[in-house]
């Protein structure tokens, strides 16, 4: 069974600094997708970044980038130049590549941004 583990329940970062959120996953599949989602307090969950397992190049989206280590089954999120609006719950998620269904989420990391 696929599992996603986020070992950091809560983290804090100073505004304008860089923070890295960790995620590991367990799978026997070779074709899959990994995601980071952001859930601000009382607001809708939105996609931050996506990584295809077949791509060696790490995905980047503006201030957000990932460090995808396929052999180690690790998928960390780096947020550069942290902003107050980055404060939220961050969820790592896994989805198999060969069928429609089953999206597996980690337990989340609460990110606090200090002014």
Partner 1 sequence: DAGVTQSPTHLIKTRGQQVTLRCSPISGHKSVSWYQQVLGQGPQFIFQYYEKEERGRGNFPDRFSARQFPNYSSELNVNALLLGDSALYLCASSLAGQPQETQYFGPGTRLLVL
Binding region for partner 1 (CB under 8 A): 4, 6, 32-33, 37, 43-47, 50, 52, 91, 93, 95-108
Q: How far is the CB of 17 from partner 1 (least distance, A)?
A: 26
User: In whole angstroms, what is the distance from residue 16 CA to residue 107 CA?
Assistant: 26
DSSP summary character for residue 6: -
Least distance in angstroms from the C-beta of 92 to partner 1: 8
In the complex with partner 1, which residue's Cβ is closer, 100 or 115?
A: 100
Q: Among candidates 52, 20, 46, which has minimal Cα distance to 34? A: 52
């Amino acid at each position: 069974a696929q599992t996603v583990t986020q070992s950091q329940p809560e983290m804090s970062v100073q505004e304008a600094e860089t923070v890295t959120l960790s995620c590991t996953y367990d799978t026997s599949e070779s074709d899959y997708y990994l995601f980071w989602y952001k859930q601000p307090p009382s607001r809708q969950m939105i996609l931050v970044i996506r990584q295809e397992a077949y791509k060696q190049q790490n995905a980047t989206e503006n201030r957000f980038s990932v460090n995808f280590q396929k052999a180690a089954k690790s998928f960390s999120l780096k947020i550069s130049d942290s902003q107050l609006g980055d404060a939220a719950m961050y969820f790592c998620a896994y989805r198999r590549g060969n069928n429609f269904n089953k999206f597996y989420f980690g337990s989340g990391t609460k990110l606090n941004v200090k002014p």
